[in-house]
Amino acid sequence: MYRWLFLVLFAVALALSVPPARAAAHPLGNFTVNQYSRLEVTRDAIHLRYVVDMAEIPAFQERQAIDGDGDGQVSEAEQVAYLARQIPALLAGLSLSVDGEPVEVQVTEQSLSFPEGQGGLPTLRLLLDIDAPVSGGAALAVTYRDDNFNERLGWREIVVVPSEGVALRDATVPAQDQTDELQAYPEDLLSSPLDVRVASFTIVPAAASNTAQPLGEPVPSQERGEDSFAALIATPELTPPVIGLALLLALLLGAGHALTPGHGKTIVAAYLIGARGTARHAVFLGLTTTITHTLGVFALGFITLFVANYILPEQIYPWLEFASGLMVVGIGITLFRSRLVGLLRRGAGRTAVVSGGAHVHAHEHDDGHGHDHDHGPYGHSHLPPGGDGQPVTWRSLLALGVSGGLLPCPSALVVLLGAIALNRVALGMLLIVAFSVGLAAVLTGIGLLLVYARSLFEHFPTDGRLLRTLPVVSAAVVTLAGLAITLGALVQAGVW
């Protein structure tokens, strides 16, 4: 029975160590710049409704450019000046051609608004109505392309709607809107955002062809949900009890966030279950994750504020994840090599018992750890504990902790920027620290649970071969998890 209990514990650790799907790690909704185009085709014109919807972080950056006098408010004059600069740039990124020839377009309506977003930060919504004349009669081949904001993450949608008396043929985009002009996004926005930049179709007399049909069913949509952590910084009234409650909530939200996929807890599980880790090691991992996560948020906030013209914050995320994955791979390979060598040496030592008349026995040392010893023809020598002759190193623990906290939570960045916008910088920093402490407390708790659970099961009689191979298997799991993280980051960065 004890053997099966031990196997169950190890199976749980391996299940935890399976890397999550890429989309579930850290959502990037607060970074998105989303674009929408609806082309309404009539007999003599194409009417284009063009919408740009910037989420909190790019909107924060854009408002800094709009606010010419730096007073923190966007006046009507500043909006007019911004539109005068921005509209020509947007039109230059749009291409509309009929039968291969570019068509002149004219802006008939324009608007700029700042809907309320998360953490006291506004979003940005720019809307343009554009007209392009077309000559009726024969069939016309139309191509539309949107090359704006190619370097930004976001949802990009194009629909083409024929009016009465007009039919479309060979349309490459649907006539059905999925987002209500970027006002209600599909639930899988963050995991698989629509990315349509080009549309083509042929305008024909209504009797010559069927009206274009939607390409597939529309995706169920939902309004953007409230971010509980980001909402803390926008609390209307700040009193000592309210601040204390906000810090407590940030701590609890950080703990809950740690239970979502990511943050290296799965790798920590595989590492500690196969290593001679102690409670001190688990606590050190938690502290390292806390410090790394907090500093990462502050560093990304600095980039957003001062270096965004050269480095986009969302473009840093894949490379941070890539660095995290490489660190984990390096740790895993080093562990696997040392533990495999230790296991082979242990096997060679036990073979010598038969061939050389030696004997192997185990006893306790002052440090409380059991070690096997080989009294063979060449004297008294230690055999590696747990199949691994290398103790847990602080350098490996530091690397694991850094890899777990290296990727800052976008919600924490929203809190920091919201604190700056609301002149609550000290509170924002305290909330981020509390959030990171809550996150690290869960990671530390998982580590302590595994350390003590492993120590408990080591006192039960079980198959010695299982105990000897367990560290090698856990090192292999760490390596595979690191490879999955690294490859996922390369896919997200568009490299592979």
* pLDDT tens-place string over residues 169-193: 889 999 888 888 988 877 655 556 7
Which among 417, 359, 46, 325 is positioned nearest to 203, based on CA atoms? 46
CA-based torsion, 167, 172, 175, 180: positive or negative: negative
Report yes or no on 359 lying in a domain: no
pLDDT at 57 over 80: yes
- Tell me the two tokens of residue 449: 């649970």
In which region does residue 248 sit, left (phi positive, over 0), alpha (psi from -120 to 50) or beta (all else)?
Answer: alpha
Residues 6 and 58 in one domain: no
- Tell me the two tokens of residue 446: 């998982």
Report yes or no on 249 lying in a domain: yes
CA-based torsion, 258, 263, 266, 267: positive or negative: negative
Out of 208-212, 230-234, 294-298, pick the least confident: 208-212
Number of compact structural domains in the chain: 2
By DSSP bridging, strand 198-205 and strand 166-169 are: antiparallel
pLDDT at 133 over 50: yes
Residues 287 and 393 in one domain: yes
Confidence bin at 288 (pLDDT 50/70/90): confident
Place of tokens 């560093």: 299
Confidence bin at 363 (pLDDT 50/70/90): very low
Report yes or no on 368 lying in a domain: no
Residues 305 and 397 in one domain: yes
* Domain enclosing residue 401, as ranges: 2-26+229-352+379-492
Q: Give the span between the Cα atoms of 375 and 144, in whole angstroms.
A: 81
Residues 337 and 300 in one domain: yes
Out of 151-155, 235-239, 317-321, pick the least confident: 317-321
Residues 320 and 461 in one domain: yes
Residues 219 and 241 in one domain: no
Residues 167 and 123 in one domain: yes
Q: Could you say which DSSP state residue 307 is in?
A: I
Residues 287 and 384 in one domain: yes
Residue 422's Cα: distance from chain center in Å? 26
Backbone angles phi, psi at 387, to 5 degrees: 80, 10
Length of the chain: 496
Residue type, 83: L
Instruction: From 194, 225, 256, give the residue that closes a domain.
Output: 225
Residues 128 and 246 in one domain: no
Q: Could you say which DSSP state residue 215 is in?
A: S
Residues 142 and 19 in one domain: no
Residue 103 Cα distances to 16, 144, 303, 426, angstroms:
57, 10, 40, 53
Give SS3 for 304. Answer: helix
Residue type, 277: G
Give SS3 for 280. Answer: helix
Report yes or no on 283 lying in a domain: yes
Report yes or no on 450 lying in a domain: yes
Confidence bin at 235 (pLDDT 50/70/90): confident
Query: Sheet harboring 379-383: ordered strands across?
Result: 359-364, 370-376, 379-383
Q: Got the DSSP string for 394-449?
A: HHHHHHHHHHHHSS--HHHHHHHHHHHHTT-HHHHHHHHHHHHHHHHHHHHHHHHH
By DSSP bridging, strand 124-133 and strand 370-376 are: unpaired
The neighbour count for residue 292, using CB atoms within 10 Å, is: 23
Residues 323 and 281 in one domain: yes
214 versus 456: which is more confidently predicted? 456
Instruction: From 225, 260, 294, give the residue that closes a domain.
Output: 225
Q: Give the span between the Cα atoms of 292 and 286, in whole angstroms.
A: 10
Q: Give the span between the Cα atoms of 175 and 160, in whole angstroms.
A: 5
Instruction: From 207, 225, 243, give the residue that closes a domain.
Output: 225
Report yes or no on 256 lying in a domain: yes
Which among 285, 234, 276, 246 is positioned nearest to 442, based on CA atoms? 285
Q: Give the span between the Cα atoms of 37 and 48, in whole angstroms.
A: 7
Q: Give the span between the Cα atoms of 33 and 12, in whole angstroms.
A: 40
Report yes or no on 426 lying in a domain: yes
In which region does residue 48 sit, left (phi positive, over 0), alpha (psi from -120 to 50) or beta (all else)?
Answer: beta
Taking residues 303-327, report their average pLDDT: 75
Q: Give the span between the Cα atoms of 475 and 296, in whole angstroms.
A: 27
End-to-end CA distance of the chain: 47
By DSSP bridging, strand 140-146 and strand 221-222 are: unpaired
Highest mean pLDDT, choosing among 394-398, 424-428, 483-487: 424-428
329 versus 278: which is more confidently predicted? 329
Residue type, 28: L
Residues 250 and 161 in one domain: no
- Tell me the two tokens of residue 406: 């290296």
What H or E segment, with its residue span, contains residue 214? none
Residue type, 258: A
Report yes or no on 358 lying in a domain: no
Q: Give the span between the Cα atoms of 50 and 35, in whole angstroms.
A: 7
The neighbour count for residue 379, using CB atoms within 10 Å, is: 8
